[in-house]
Structure 1
Amino acid sequence: MASIQAVTIMEFKDEVSLPSVRLALFAEASSDVQRAKKLRVVSRETGLSWNCTDLIKFSEGNKKNWTGSSSIVPAENEMIPEGAYSVIYTDCADAVWEGAFSVRYDRELLTKKAREFPECIKVSKSEKAAVYDENGVLKYFGEKKKTWTTIEKVRADIKDAASFRICYYLSGENIMILMPEYGISDKKSE
Protein backbone atom coordinates (compact mmCIF):
# COMPACT_ATOMS: atom_id res chain seq x y z
CA MET A 1 0.00 0.00 0.00
CA ALA A 2 1.43 3.37 -1.00
CA SER A 3 -1.07 5.62 0.84
CA ILE A 4 -4.50 5.72 2.48
CA GLN A 5 -7.27 8.29 2.02
CA ALA A 6 -10.03 8.24 4.66
CA VAL A 7 -13.01 10.60 4.86
CA THR A 8 -15.76 10.73 7.49
CA ILE A 9 -19.06 11.29 5.66
CA MET A 10 -22.06 12.89 7.36
CA GLU A 11 -25.13 12.55 5.14
CA PHE A 12 -28.53 14.22 5.39
CA LYS A 13 -31.49 12.38 3.85
CA ASP A 14 -33.86 15.31 4.39
CA GLU A 15 -34.15 18.72 6.06
CA VAL A 16 -35.46 17.51 9.44
CA SER A 17 -33.46 14.35 10.27
CA LEU A 18 -30.06 14.20 11.90
CA PRO A 19 -27.21 13.04 9.64
CA SER A 20 -26.06 9.46 9.32
CA VAL A 21 -22.31 8.90 9.56
CA ARG A 22 -20.01 6.53 7.71
CA LEU A 23 -16.39 6.21 6.73
CA ALA A 24 -14.99 6.06 3.21
CA LEU A 25 -11.54 4.51 2.96
CA PHE A 26 -9.39 3.99 -0.12
CA ALA A 27 -5.92 2.47 -0.20
CA GLU A 28 -3.50 3.16 -3.03
CA ALA A 29 -2.37 -0.27 -4.15
CA SER A 30 1.23 -0.67 -5.22
CA SER A 31 0.24 -3.65 -7.40
CA ASP A 32 -2.62 -4.39 -9.79
CA VAL A 33 -5.77 -3.09 -8.07
CA GLN A 34 -7.86 -5.86 -9.65
CA ARG A 35 -5.96 -8.32 -7.44
CA ALA A 36 -7.30 -6.72 -4.25
CA LYS A 37 -9.25 -9.26 -2.20
CA LYS A 38 -10.22 -7.52 1.04
CA LEU A 39 -9.52 -4.69 3.45
CA ARG A 40 -9.78 -5.06 7.20
CA VAL A 41 -10.21 -1.79 9.10
CA VAL A 42 -9.58 -1.81 12.86
CA SER A 43 -10.12 0.95 15.43
CA ARG A 44 -7.04 0.77 17.69
CA GLU A 45 -8.90 2.47 20.58
CA THR A 46 -12.02 0.29 20.61
CA GLY A 47 -10.97 -2.90 18.83
CA LEU A 48 -13.99 -2.62 16.50
CA SER A 49 -13.26 -3.96 13.03
CA TRP A 50 -14.83 -4.04 9.60
CA ASN A 51 -14.09 -6.59 6.87
CA CYS A 52 -14.57 -5.06 3.43
CA THR A 53 -14.80 -7.65 0.66
CA ASP A 54 -17.14 -5.90 -1.79
CA LEU A 55 -14.45 -3.44 -2.86
CA ILE A 56 -14.60 -0.49 -5.22
CA LYS A 57 -11.56 -0.63 -7.51
CA PHE A 58 -10.37 2.05 -9.91
CA SER A 59 -7.28 3.49 -11.56
CA GLU A 60 -6.46 7.15 -12.08
CA GLY A 61 -4.99 8.45 -15.31
CA ASN A 62 -1.61 8.93 -13.63
CA LYS A 63 -1.44 5.16 -13.00
CA LYS A 64 -2.45 5.27 -9.34
CA ASN A 65 -4.55 2.25 -8.38
CA TRP A 66 -7.12 2.53 -5.58
CA THR A 67 -9.34 0.07 -3.77
CA GLY A 68 -11.68 0.55 -0.86
CA SER A 69 -15.18 1.12 0.40
CA SER A 70 -17.39 4.16 0.93
CA SER A 71 -19.78 2.24 3.19
CA ILE A 72 -17.98 1.58 6.48
CA VAL A 73 -20.80 2.17 8.94
CA PRO A 74 -21.00 2.02 12.74
CA ALA A 75 -23.27 -0.33 14.65
CA GLU A 76 -26.84 0.90 15.08
CA ASN A 77 -27.09 3.92 17.41
CA GLU A 78 -23.29 4.20 17.52
CA MET A 79 -20.77 6.59 15.96
CA ILE A 80 -17.62 5.98 13.97
CA PRO A 81 -14.95 5.86 16.71
CA GLU A 82 -12.39 8.66 16.70
CA GLY A 83 -8.68 7.91 16.96
CA ALA A 84 -6.10 5.71 15.28
CA TYR A 85 -6.98 2.93 12.84
CA SER A 86 -5.09 0.09 11.18
CA VAL A 87 -5.81 -1.12 7.66
CA ILE A 88 -4.86 -4.61 6.51
CA TYR A 89 -4.91 -5.02 2.71
CA THR A 90 -4.97 -8.56 1.31
CA ASP A 91 -4.62 -9.47 -2.37
CA CYS A 92 -5.75 -12.61 -4.22
CA ALA A 93 -2.42 -14.35 -3.51
CA ASP A 94 -3.01 -13.68 0.22
CA ALA A 95 -0.10 -11.22 0.35
CA VAL A 96 -0.75 -8.70 3.16
CA TRP A 97 0.15 -5.02 3.57
CA GLU A 98 -0.63 -2.81 6.54
CA GLY A 99 -1.20 0.90 6.91
CA ALA A 100 -2.65 3.43 9.34
CA PHE A 101 -4.84 6.51 9.44
CA SER A 102 -6.80 8.48 12.04
CA VAL A 103 -10.33 9.83 12.35
CA ARG A 104 -11.29 13.10 14.06
CA TYR A 105 -14.54 15.05 13.81
CA ASP A 106 -16.66 17.52 15.73
CA ARG A 107 -19.38 15.34 17.31
CA GLU A 108 -21.56 18.43 17.68
CA LEU A 109 -22.10 18.37 13.90
CA LEU A 110 -24.03 15.12 14.35
CA THR A 111 -26.59 16.98 16.49
CA LYS A 112 -27.40 19.52 13.75
CA LYS A 113 -30.11 19.42 11.11
CA ALA A 114 -29.54 20.34 7.47
CA ARG A 115 -31.12 23.77 7.86
CA GLU A 116 -28.37 24.70 10.37
CA PHE A 117 -25.65 24.28 7.73
CA PRO A 118 -23.30 25.80 6.68
CA GLU A 119 -23.50 28.36 9.50
CA CYS A 120 -22.62 25.83 12.23
CA ILE A 121 -19.32 24.83 10.58
CA LYS A 122 -16.50 26.42 12.56
CA VAL A 123 -13.52 25.50 10.34
CA SER A 124 -12.72 26.48 6.76
CA LYS A 125 -14.74 24.62 4.17
CA SER A 126 -15.20 24.28 0.45
CA GLU A 127 -18.60 23.93 -1.21
CA LYS A 128 -19.12 21.53 -4.11
CA ALA A 129 -22.10 20.25 -6.07
CA ALA A 130 -22.84 16.61 -6.86
CA VAL A 131 -25.19 15.92 -9.77
CA TYR A 132 -26.75 12.48 -10.38
CA ASP A 133 -28.69 10.91 -13.25
CA GLU A 134 -32.00 9.05 -12.79
CA ASN A 135 -30.10 5.85 -11.86
CA GLY A 136 -28.19 7.61 -9.07
CA VAL A 137 -24.94 7.62 -11.05
CA LEU A 138 -22.72 10.60 -10.26
CA LYS A 139 -22.49 12.73 -13.42
CA TYR A 140 -20.67 15.77 -12.02
CA PHE A 141 -18.78 16.71 -8.88
CA GLY A 142 -17.21 20.12 -8.65
CA GLU A 143 -17.89 23.80 -8.37
CA LYS A 144 -21.54 24.82 -8.04
CA LYS A 145 -22.69 27.50 -10.42
CA LYS A 146 -24.49 30.39 -8.72
CA THR A 147 -27.46 29.81 -11.04
CA TRP A 148 -27.95 26.23 -9.78
CA THR A 149 -30.75 26.88 -7.28
CA THR A 150 -33.17 24.19 -8.57
CA ILE A 151 -32.71 20.94 -10.47
CA GLU A 152 -34.33 22.57 -13.51
CA LYS A 153 -31.52 25.14 -13.58
CA VAL A 154 -28.89 22.40 -13.15
CA ARG A 155 -30.51 20.50 -16.01
CA ALA A 156 -29.97 23.47 -18.32
CA ASP A 157 -26.23 22.71 -18.04
CA ILE A 158 -26.25 18.94 -17.46
CA LYS A 159 -28.93 17.38 -19.66
CA ASP A 160 -29.43 14.03 -17.88
CA ALA A 161 -29.39 15.53 -14.35
CA ALA A 162 -32.12 14.04 -12.16
CA SER A 163 -30.96 15.26 -8.75
CA PHE A 164 -28.25 17.29 -7.09
CA ARG A 165 -26.90 18.05 -3.65
CA ILE A 166 -24.50 20.46 -2.03
CA CYS A 167 -21.42 18.94 -0.37
CA TYR A 168 -19.17 20.64 2.16
CA TYR A 169 -15.59 19.45 2.58
CA LEU A 170 -14.06 20.58 5.85
CA SER A 171 -10.48 21.60 5.09
CA GLY A 172 -7.86 19.69 7.03
CA GLU A 173 -10.55 17.62 8.75
CA ASN A 174 -11.18 14.92 6.14
CA ILE A 175 -14.93 15.36 6.65
CA MET A 176 -17.53 15.52 3.90
CA ILE A 177 -21.04 16.76 4.70
CA LEU A 178 -23.64 15.72 2.12
CA MET A 179 -26.75 17.89 2.20
CA PRO A 180 -30.17 16.50 1.14
CA GLU A 181 -30.70 15.71 -2.55
CA TYR A 182 -33.07 17.80 -4.62
CA GLY A 183 -34.83 16.10 -7.53
CA ILE A 184 -36.55 17.23 -10.70
CA SER A 185 -39.90 17.80 -8.98
CA ASP A 186 -38.33 19.88 -6.19
CA LYS A 187 -38.76 23.65 -6.45
CA LYS A 188 -36.78 24.32 -3.29
CA SER A 189 -33.80 26.65 -3.58
CA GLU A 190 -30.46 26.05 -1.92
Structure 2
Amino acid sequence: MKHLITIAFGCLCFFCFSCSSAITEIHDIRSALLYDFQSGQNDRRLRLAVYARLNEAAESGGFLQIRSPASDYVWTVEKPLFVQDAASGYTWIGSSDIVPPPEGFFPSGRYTLIYTDEAGKKTETGFDMEECKSFDGLDLGEYTEKRLGIFNESGILLGYRSEKTDMSAEETAEKYPGSFFTRIILISEDGLSAVLREPVFIEDGSVQNQGGVR
Protein backbone atom coordinates (compact mmCIF):
# COMPACT_ATOMS: atom_id res chain seq x y z
CA MET A 1 0.00 0.00 0.00
CA LYS A 2 3.00 2.19 -0.35
CA HIS A 3 1.88 3.89 -3.56
CA LEU A 4 -0.90 6.06 -2.39
CA ILE A 5 -2.07 9.14 -3.51
CA THR A 6 -3.00 11.12 -2.95
CA ILE A 7 -3.33 12.67 -1.60
CA ALA A 8 -3.53 12.61 -3.13
CA PHE A 9 -2.71 13.20 -1.39
CA GLY A 10 -5.76 15.15 -2.41
CA CYS A 11 -4.64 14.60 0.13
CA LEU A 12 -5.18 16.04 -0.84
CA CYS A 13 -4.61 18.23 -3.59
CA PHE A 14 -3.31 17.60 -6.75
CA PHE A 15 -1.33 17.79 -9.70
CA CYS A 16 -0.08 18.17 -13.17
CA PHE A 17 2.01 19.66 -15.89
CA SER A 18 1.90 22.08 -18.80
CA CYS A 19 4.19 24.64 -20.53
CA SER A 20 5.79 26.55 -23.34
CA SER A 21 9.43 27.24 -22.58
CA ALA A 22 12.73 25.60 -23.47
CA ILE A 23 13.67 25.62 -19.81
CA THR A 24 12.03 23.32 -17.31
CA GLU A 25 10.21 25.29 -14.62
CA ILE A 26 8.30 24.41 -11.47
CA HIS A 27 5.03 26.34 -11.46
CA ASP A 28 3.53 25.03 -8.23
CA ILE A 29 4.26 22.57 -5.45
CA ARG A 30 2.03 20.73 -2.97
CA SER A 31 3.12 18.79 0.09
CA ALA A 32 1.38 17.04 2.96
CA LEU A 33 2.29 14.88 5.93
CA LEU A 34 0.46 11.54 5.79
CA TYR A 35 -0.41 9.86 9.07
CA ASP A 36 -1.04 6.33 7.79
CA PHE A 37 -2.86 3.89 10.06
CA GLN A 38 -2.50 0.35 8.73
CA SER A 39 -4.10 -2.81 10.10
CA GLY A 40 -3.17 -2.62 13.77
CA GLN A 41 -2.40 -0.31 16.70
CA ASN A 42 1.35 -0.73 16.21
CA ASP A 43 1.25 -0.65 12.42
CA ARG A 44 1.53 3.06 11.69
CA ARG A 45 3.59 4.88 9.10
CA LEU A 46 4.46 8.54 8.82
CA ARG A 47 5.06 9.57 5.21
CA LEU A 48 5.41 12.70 3.15
CA ALA A 49 3.66 13.43 -0.14
CA VAL A 50 5.30 16.00 -2.43
CA TYR A 51 4.17 16.88 -5.97
CA ALA A 52 5.34 19.58 -8.37
CA ARG A 53 3.61 21.05 -11.42
CA LEU A 54 6.06 21.52 -14.27
CA ASN A 55 5.87 23.40 -17.56
CA GLU A 56 5.62 21.73 -20.97
CA ALA A 57 9.37 21.68 -21.40
CA ALA A 58 9.53 18.89 -18.83
CA GLU A 59 9.77 15.39 -20.24
CA SER A 60 7.75 12.50 -18.85
CA GLY A 61 10.86 11.30 -17.07
CA GLY A 62 13.66 12.57 -14.89
CA PHE A 63 13.90 12.32 -11.13
CA LEU A 64 13.37 14.34 -7.96
CA GLN A 65 15.55 15.13 -4.98
CA ILE A 66 14.29 16.61 -1.71
CA ARG A 67 16.68 18.19 0.78
CA SER A 68 15.88 18.58 4.46
CA PRO A 69 16.12 22.02 6.14
CA ALA A 70 19.65 21.40 7.41
CA SER A 71 20.65 19.82 4.05
CA ASP A 72 22.03 16.85 5.97
CA TYR A 73 19.49 14.43 4.51
CA VAL A 74 18.47 14.01 0.88
CA TRP A 75 15.70 11.85 -0.57
CA THR A 76 16.02 10.74 -4.20
CA VAL A 77 12.85 9.71 -6.04
CA GLU A 78 14.22 7.91 -9.09
CA LYS A 79 10.85 6.96 -10.56
CA PRO A 80 8.31 9.61 -9.53
CA LEU A 81 4.62 9.24 -10.23
CA PHE A 82 2.97 11.36 -12.90
CA VAL A 83 -0.56 12.21 -11.75
CA GLN A 84 -3.16 13.66 -14.10
CA ASP A 85 -5.73 16.01 -12.58
CA ALA A 86 -8.72 15.61 -14.87
CA ALA A 87 -10.47 18.65 -13.39
CA SER A 88 -7.70 21.13 -14.26
CA GLY A 89 -5.93 19.28 -17.04
CA TYR A 90 -2.61 19.60 -15.23
CA THR A 91 -0.06 16.84 -14.65
CA TRP A 92 1.96 16.69 -11.45
CA ILE A 93 5.15 14.76 -10.71
CA GLY A 94 6.06 13.47 -7.28
CA SER A 95 5.70 10.75 -4.69
CA SER A 96 3.41 9.91 -1.77
CA ASP A 97 5.84 7.45 -0.20
CA ILE A 98 8.69 9.54 1.17
CA VAL A 99 9.68 8.07 4.53
CA PRO A 100 11.27 9.93 7.47
CA PRO A 101 15.01 9.97 8.23
CA PRO A 102 16.34 7.35 10.67
CA GLU A 103 15.21 9.41 13.67
CA GLY A 104 11.63 8.70 12.62
CA PHE A 105 10.22 12.17 11.92
CA PHE A 106 10.51 14.99 9.39
CA PRO A 107 12.16 18.11 10.83
CA SER A 108 10.09 21.25 10.41
CA GLY A 109 11.37 24.10 8.28
CA ARG A 110 12.18 24.93 4.68
CA TYR A 111 12.75 22.02 2.27
CA THR A 112 14.22 22.17 -1.22
CA LEU A 113 12.82 20.18 -4.15
CA ILE A 114 15.09 19.66 -7.17
CA TYR A 115 13.82 18.25 -10.47
CA THR A 116 16.37 16.91 -12.96
CA ASP A 117 15.03 16.16 -16.43
CA GLU A 118 16.28 13.46 -18.79
CA ALA A 119 18.74 15.91 -20.35
CA GLY A 120 20.30 16.63 -16.95
CA LYS A 121 18.83 20.14 -16.59
CA LYS A 122 17.87 21.06 -13.04
CA THR A 123 15.29 23.37 -11.53
CA GLU A 124 14.42 23.81 -7.88
CA THR A 125 12.01 25.44 -5.48
CA GLY A 126 11.26 25.38 -1.77
CA PHE A 127 8.36 24.43 0.47
CA ASP A 128 7.71 24.61 4.20
CA MET A 129 7.01 21.68 6.50
CA GLU A 130 5.03 21.99 9.71
CA GLU A 131 6.13 20.22 12.87
CA CYS A 132 5.26 16.51 12.94
CA LYS A 133 2.85 15.23 15.57
CA SER A 134 2.76 11.87 17.29
CA PHE A 135 0.00 9.51 16.21
CA ASP A 136 -1.40 9.48 19.74
CA GLY A 137 -1.37 13.28 19.80
CA LEU A 138 -3.44 13.77 16.64
CA ASP A 139 -6.62 15.79 17.11
CA LEU A 140 -8.98 14.42 14.48
CA GLY A 141 -11.26 17.42 15.10
CA GLU A 142 -8.74 19.48 13.10
CA TYR A 143 -9.36 17.33 10.02
CA THR A 144 -12.44 18.92 8.56
CA GLU A 145 -12.71 17.16 5.19
CA LYS A 146 -13.56 13.48 4.85
CA ARG A 147 -13.24 11.39 1.70
CA LEU A 148 -13.56 7.73 0.87
CA GLY A 149 -10.61 6.63 -1.25
CA ILE A 150 -10.92 3.55 -3.45
CA PHE A 151 -7.67 1.68 -4.19
CA ASN A 152 -6.50 -1.24 -6.28
CA GLU A 153 -4.54 -4.21 -4.94
CA SER A 154 -1.22 -2.37 -5.36
CA GLY A 155 -2.43 0.57 -3.27
CA ILE A 156 -2.92 2.95 -6.21
CA LEU A 157 -5.73 5.45 -5.64
CA LEU A 158 -8.46 4.95 -8.25
CA GLY A 159 -10.83 7.69 -7.11
CA TYR A 160 -12.82 9.25 -4.30
CA ARG A 161 -16.38 8.93 -3.11
CA SER A 162 -17.88 11.57 -0.85
CA GLU A 163 -21.53 10.70 -1.32
CA LYS A 164 -23.36 9.11 1.59
CA THR A 165 -25.32 6.75 -0.64
CA ASP A 166 -24.57 3.05 -0.76
CA MET A 167 -22.66 1.57 -3.67
CA SER A 168 -22.60 -2.19 -4.14
CA ALA A 169 -19.40 -4.12 -4.72
CA GLU A 170 -20.57 -4.75 -8.30
CA GLU A 171 -21.18 -1.04 -8.95
CA THR A 172 -17.79 -0.20 -7.46
CA ALA A 173 -16.05 -2.75 -9.69
CA GLU A 174 -17.79 -1.31 -12.74
CA LYS A 175 -16.94 2.31 -11.96
CA TYR A 176 -13.47 1.61 -10.57
CA PRO A 177 -12.02 -1.44 -12.36
CA GLY A 178 -9.52 -3.26 -10.18
CA SER A 179 -10.88 -1.81 -6.91
CA PHE A 180 -9.68 -3.87 -3.96
CA PHE A 181 -10.03 -1.87 -0.73
CA THR A 182 -11.24 1.47 0.60
CA ARG A 183 -9.81 3.90 3.13
CA ILE A 184 -11.33 6.89 4.87
CA ILE A 185 -9.05 9.88 4.31
CA LEU A 186 -9.28 12.87 6.66
CA ILE A 187 -7.72 16.12 5.45
CA SER A 188 -6.73 19.07 7.63
CA GLU A 189 -8.29 22.46 6.99
CA ASP A 190 -5.01 23.87 5.67
CA GLY A 191 -4.39 20.81 3.49
CA LEU A 192 -0.90 20.28 4.94
CA SER A 193 -1.60 16.91 6.53
CA ALA A 194 -3.96 13.97 6.18
CA VAL A 195 -4.94 10.92 8.21
CA LEU A 196 -5.44 7.65 6.38
CA ARG A 197 -7.64 5.27 8.31
CA GLU A 198 -7.17 1.49 8.22
CA PRO A 199 -7.88 -0.21 4.85
CA VAL A 200 -11.14 -2.12 4.50
CA PHE A 201 -11.28 -4.76 1.80
CA ILE A 202 -14.20 -4.69 -0.60
CA GLU A 203 -16.26 -7.84 -0.36
CA ASP A 204 -19.96 -8.56 -0.72
CA GLY A 205 -22.09 -5.64 0.40
CA SER A 206 -22.01 -1.90 -0.11
CA VAL A 207 -18.94 0.25 -0.13
CA GLN A 208 -20.50 2.37 2.58
CA ASN A 209 -20.85 -0.67 4.82
CA GLN A 210 -17.28 -1.61 4.00
CA GLY A 211 -15.82 1.64 5.29
CA GLY A 212 -17.52 4.42 3.37
CA VAL A 213 -18.30 7.91 4.53
CA ARG A 214 -20.89 7.66 7.27
TM-score bracket, shorter-length normalisation: 0.7 to 0.9
- Structure 1 runs not aligned, ≥5 long: 148-152
Q: Which runs of 5+ in 2 are unaligned?
A: 1-25
Measure the CA separation in 2 of the matches of 1:111 and 1:18: 13
AA aligned opposite 2:110? A
Cα distance in 1 for residues equivalent to 2:164 and 2:37: 21
- Selected match of 1:155 from 152, 156, 169: 169
CA drift at 1:2: 0.6
CA distance in structure 1 between the partners assigned to 2:204 and 2:100 by the alignment: 31
For residues 54-93 of structure 1, the aligned pairs below 5 Å read: 54-61=79-86, 62-76=88-102, 78-93=104-119
Deviation at 1:69, TM superposition (A): 1.4
What does 1:1-190 correspond to in 2, within 5 Å?
A: 1-17=26-42, 19-45=44-70, 47-61=72-86, 62-76=88-102, 78-105=104-131, 107-108=133-134, 110-111=135-136, 120-134=139-153, 136-145=155-164, 147=166, 154-155=168-169, 157-159=171-173, 161-184=179-202, 190=211
Per-residue deviation, 1:64: 2.5
Could you report, residue by residue, the CA deviation over 1:26-68 in whole angstroms, capped at 9, with x for unpaired residues? 1111134434412110111363211111111244454433211
SS in 2 for 1:111: helix
Residue identity in the other structure for 2:182: F
In 2, are the aligned partners of 1:3 and 1:28 still within 8 Å (CA)? yes
Closer/same/farther in 2, CA of residues 79 and 186 from structure 1, 3 Å limit: farther
- Could you tell me whether the CA contact under 8 Å between 1:33 and 1:67 is conserved in 2? no
For normalisation by structure 2, the TM-score amounts to 0.70
Question: The residue matched to 1:162 in structure 2 has which SS?
Answer: strand
* 1:123 and 1:170 in contact (8 A); partners too: yes
Q: Report % sequence identity.
A: 20
CA distance in 2, matches of 1:142, 1:54: 28
CA deviation after TM superposition for structure 1 residue 4, in Å:
0.7
Structure 1 166/8 Cα, relative in aligned 2: closer, same or farther at 3 Å?
A: same
Counterpart residue type for residue 14 of structure 1: S
Indicate if the aligned counterparts of 2:49 and 2:95 stay in contact, CA closer than 8 A: yes
1:150 corresponding residue in structure 2: none
| Matched AA of 2:69 | R
